[in-house]
Amino acid sequence: MTFATPRSLYIDGEWVQPGSYEALVNPADETVFAEAPVGDAAHADAAIAAAREAFDRGPWPRLPQRERQAALSKFLDAIERRKGELIEMIVTEAGATRMLAEFLQYGIPMQHARHMVEISDRPAITPLPVETTPDARGGITLGAGVIARDPVGVVAAITPYNFPFFLNIGKIIPAMAVGCTIVLKPSPYTPFEALVLGEIAAEAGLPRGVLNIVTGGIDVGTALTTDKRVDLISFTGSDSVGAAIQAQSAPTLKRLLMELGGKSALIVRDDADIMAAAASGVSGIVTHSGQGCALLTRHLVHNSVKDQYIATLAGMLGAIKIGNPADPANMMGPLIREAARKRTEDYVDIALGQGARLVHGGKRPDGLTSGYYYEPTLFADVENGHRIAQEEVFGPIGVVIGFDSDDEAIALANDSDFGLSGAIFSANVGRAYEMALQMRTGGVHINGGAGRMSSHAPFGGIKRSGYGREYGLEGLNEFTNIKTIAFKGG
């Protein structure tokens, strides 16, 4: 291990002793690599109070925007100086492969963060049209107004274990950029990728109370979701936990920004490049061992090319090298814990019980006696109503479902409780675009998309995949309230 592990919580600019510590396990080999501090509801209360004080009476929301930008740029510069350490932390805590850690878990969120700081200088006040109205004295009133965007206030950011650094940065940077203050609660499985940000906040000189970091379990989460001093909750996680948070927050009518689960559809038309489509299909199964909400796990393939697609995809899956993610040669690492592997195994049994045909995988890999590994798994002869096609597994399982027409493909894609992502492969790009417009989801990639996740593009879902948007201008504005100010001219 080549990184230090903080042993305290970060509240109001100070390091606070936790109530207890718990052993933190490396999912690649099941060894304990550190003792993690565990906060409780009292720590959450103190963190909320600090964030409230910093927002209501501190300097941060009142700084000129250019000064907030400078402070956050300094914060991000401090992160960059610890890049190597953070990547090691991502590999060890989250079980990400080294390539995934460097590019998607670290590189892309830093790209997003820089962009969010840059665009935060957009006008906070925009004019409304000037209008004339006859008055009671026979004259004409000249009326005008502006729309002002104010920071929403205290934000509780609750993040999961799969992409912890990505999501920690993705929530705190835009919120702080517009003047909000934060309480960040990470997953108990991945606390250090959050706590290290407290060290960086102190180094960068962020004012007290602007960023607070509290670890812990359900009691800490409930304290954040129910406290009336919290103005907005930004949550990424499962749809079931999202529903619980919505219920907990309802009595205080909090704003919610929810990025939840997915069961996203990859449509492969009869004119598609099968190799390219299958490569995308492999990514949807093996990326971070299937632990990604936007991964493409339902492969809807035209029946005329379905057998070719299945054979190609199975061959690619067979070439995936599984093992300790610390070894750069390995292409797929472990699931986060034994419970996640057991859930994956249970869904394999469910799929077989409902008549699906196992094409590849379906078991623990040979020779790996420690670590929470599971083979990338592919099912065919799946009906869209099967549980394996409707429920989020959060493990390395993909399914292939055949279709005969574009209309049928769209209907199958939309026949889901989720709506986060989607993709279409076709030589007819115009037709693929028309189909993308009909898909009920938050985003669609055509023939692989733009090559990387754009910082300009808002990200989020519909239905049980949540609501609100992250990243881009829309994501920045999620952390603001709109106020209209009207006045007379002259």
Active-site amino acid positions: 259
Here the tokens at position 264 are: 């996203």
Query: Cα 49–54–57 angle (5° rounding)?
Result: 110
Cβ(215)–Cβ(196) under 8 Å? no
Q: How far is CA 336 from CA 27, 163, 259, 294, 328, in A?
A: 5, 11, 20, 18, 19
Which residue type, as a one-letter code, is found at position 5? T
Look at strands 445-446 and 422-425 and give their pairing.
parallel
Which residue type, as a one-letter code, is found at position 478? E
Work out the end-to-end distance of the chain between its first and last CA atoms, rounded to an integer number of angstroms. 69
Q: What 3-state class would DSSP assign to 393? A: coil
Q: Which DSSP helix (H) or strand (E) runs through 384?
A: none
Cβ(91)–Cβ(104) under 8 Å? no
Here the tokens at position 411 are: 């209907």
Here the tokens at position 326 are: 């610390």
- For 244-309, strand residue ranges (E) read 255-259, 264-268, 296-302
Which residue type, as a one-letter code, is found at position 118? E
